Each structure stands twice: as C-alpha cells, then as structure tokens.
C-alpha cells in the first residue's frame, strides 16, 4: 500500500492479496550461399516455414510515419477481464479489484475508448469472449486494448476456475495474421497479476544534489504488453484503494493521456510505483516495506499518442 496508508495489502498470487520469454537460439547454415550477403536465423534444428498472408492487411499509417494513425472514426475497443472471486483452492478473493476496474474503465472512456468489462469469467467463458473479440472488424478503430486483473504465477494467469498461459489465450489471437484489421495498429495489453512469489526489498539511495508502397511486417509487431511486476515477483494491491499499478496507470492516463506518448507515460508509471509505494504489513516482517517495479515489453514500431476527438 502507499506509505501513508493503513489499509491491508495483498499479493496477487492468492497467499497475500507471468511471463518469462525463453527464446531458443539455433543456428541455421545453408551451404553454397554467400554468407556475407545472406541473412541467417539464430536457431538450431529444423527450419520452420511461415507463409505470409498476401494482400489482406491494409496499413492506415504511412510506412515512414513516426506515430500511429490515431484519427480513425473510433479511438479503440477496450476489454477488461476483472477477476475477484475464484473456485480454485487457496486463491483468495481479490478485495480492491472492483475499484481498479471502475477507475480503469473511467480513465479509458475519457481517452475515447469503447470499454467492455467482464467479471469473474470461467476459462470457457473467457475463451468464448476472446474468440468473439478476435473476430471483430477493427477497420474504423485506432487500436485495441485489453486489461486483465487477476491472480497469477510465473507464466500463467488465473480465470475463475483454472489457469492459462496469456501468450496462448490472450495476445496470440490478435496477431496480424489472425486479426487482419488490427495489423499495423497498436495492440495494448495491461496485466495486473503476480508473476511469482519473490519479494523486492529495494535499495536505499541518496541524491547528490537537490505511404502508398507495400511492405511486410512481423505478425507480432505493434504489440505492447505491460505487467504490473517483473517475472518471478509479487504484485501488490491495496484492499481499499486498488493495486499499485492500476492506481498509477489510471492517474497517468487522466493527467497525461493526451499530452505524452504511451511509452513515456508508462515510464512515469514505473517511476511512481517504484518510488511512491511500499508495502505496509507490520505483522509480517518478510512482507513489510517491500517494493515493486512494473515490466513493459514493447514491440511497437511507432509512437502511440492519443489525440483528442474533434
């Protein structure tokens, strides 16, 4: 919780109230070709072929543009999966997440998003909703945003009745080859959940001073995935005020949503969570005065800056 607060804190793994990416490196050599003029993959083993879809995607942003085109008819579709109660043993109710969901919905609506929240979905229900939204037509939208508020562990997130891998169930359905009308547009994911059970005690510091041409893109281009904490670590939530990450994110959206590009804004979110929050659990010396830092993975190819509607 905040340093000056008195509400109980919980961690997002069920005890108190994730995803490492392991890239395999292999080496592929093709005999008889000039290596100085040929690209080669850092991979070992068989060469997997990917057949790109031809002529399906239409970029609404010029190839050389620094910023994404954020002047479509609609700002963006935002989906919030809020999980408070669970049918899984040892997973406690996530008090405070309702306020997170309410504040995030409010902040996104101020930015012009069309927001749809869901509460306590089972794995099957979650799967059906994701399948529905992955098949939508986003031709007239600037971007797509999804937020998940739940318990988690390293590499997994919990629905009401079971766990799933976010890369498979969440953003894997919205790649450029599967959701063509989002190809070349920002796809933004915000995950409030633990990524493990490690604690961060922090370190004390003192300051010394007071177009028209066609081009091909990777299917995972234009994604941004922001976790509330780094792989392996707890994520903290105040039972009265909501999670640290969502508090900071909503404040940043409200204050700077139309003035700063998204990565700059998220840097301020990182700073606020890292500096202004510290756990207050005096009854448990191991959980007391702990810190947290969000983790942002960007595959964006341009800057995201939300513009005010005319």
- Angle at CA of residue 165, ends 144 and 162, nearest 5°: 110
Per-residue DSSP letter, 25: -
Per-residue DSSP letter, 52: P
Q: Is the dihedral of CA 301, 302, 308, 310 positive or negative?
A: negative
Helix orientation angle between 97-110 and 244-256, rounded to the nearest 10 degrees? 20
Contact residues for 146 (Cβ-Cβ < 8 A; gap 6+): 78, 79, 80, 81, 170, 171, 188, 189, 190
Nearest of 211, 223, 215 to residue 179 by alpha carbon: 223
210 with 66: CB under 8 angstroms? no
Gap between the Cα atoms of 292 and 244, Å rounded: 9
Per-residue DSSP letter, 277: B
Catalytic residue (one of 194, 250, 288, 295): 194
179 with 222: CB under 8 angstroms? no
- Angle at CA of residue 159, ends 101 and 125, nearest 5°: 95
Catalytic residue (one of 11, 83, 151, 179): 151
Within the chain, strands assigned E span: 9-11, 74-82, 113-119, 141-149, 152-153, 156-158, 163-164, 187-192, 223-227, 236-238, 242-243, 295-298
CB environment 273-283: b (16+ within 10 A), e (fewer): bbeebbbbbee
194 included as an active-site residue? yes
Gap between the Cα atoms of 37 and 213, Å rounded: 25
Catalytic residue set: 151, 194
């Amino acid at each position: 919780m905040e340093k000056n607060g008195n509400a109980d804190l919980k961690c997002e793994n069920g005890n108190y109230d994730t995803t490492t990416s392991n890239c395999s490196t292999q080496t592929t050599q093709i005999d008889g070709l000039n290596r100085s003029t040929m690209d080669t993959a850092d991979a070992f083993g068989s060469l997997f072929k990917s057949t790109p879809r031809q002529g399906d995607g239409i970029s609404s942003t010029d190839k050389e543009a620094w910023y994404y085109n954020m002047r479509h008819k609609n700002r963006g579709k935002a989906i919030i999966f809020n999980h408070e109660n669970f049918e899984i043993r040892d997973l406690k109710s996530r008090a405070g997440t309702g306020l997170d969901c309410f504040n995030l919905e409010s902040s996104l609506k101020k930015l012009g998003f069309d927001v749809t929240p869901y509460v306590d979905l089972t794995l099957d229900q979650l799967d059906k909703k994701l399948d529905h939204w992955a098949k939508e037509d986003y031709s007239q939208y600037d971007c797509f945003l999804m937020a998940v508020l739940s318990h988690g562990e390293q590499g997994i997130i919990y629905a009401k009745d079971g766990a799933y891998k976010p890369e498979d169930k969440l953003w894997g359905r919205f790649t450029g080859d599967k959701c063509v009308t989002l190809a070349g547009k920002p796809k933004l994911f915000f995950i409030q959940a633990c990524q493990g059970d490690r604690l961060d005690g922090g370190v004390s510091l003192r300051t010394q001073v007071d177009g028209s041409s066609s081009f091909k893109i990777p299917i995972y281009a234009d994604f941004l995935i922001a976790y509330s904490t780094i792989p392996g670590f707890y994520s903290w939530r105040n039972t009265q005020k909501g999670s640290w990450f969502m508090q900071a994110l909503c404040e940043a959206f409200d204050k700077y949503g139309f003035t700063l590009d998204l990565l700059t804004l998220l840097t301020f979110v990182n700073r606020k969570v890292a500096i202004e929050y510290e756990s207050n659990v005096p009854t448990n010396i191991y959980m007391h005065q702990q810190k947290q830092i969000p983790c942002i993975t960007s595959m964006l190819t341009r800057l995201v800056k939300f513009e005010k509607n005319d």
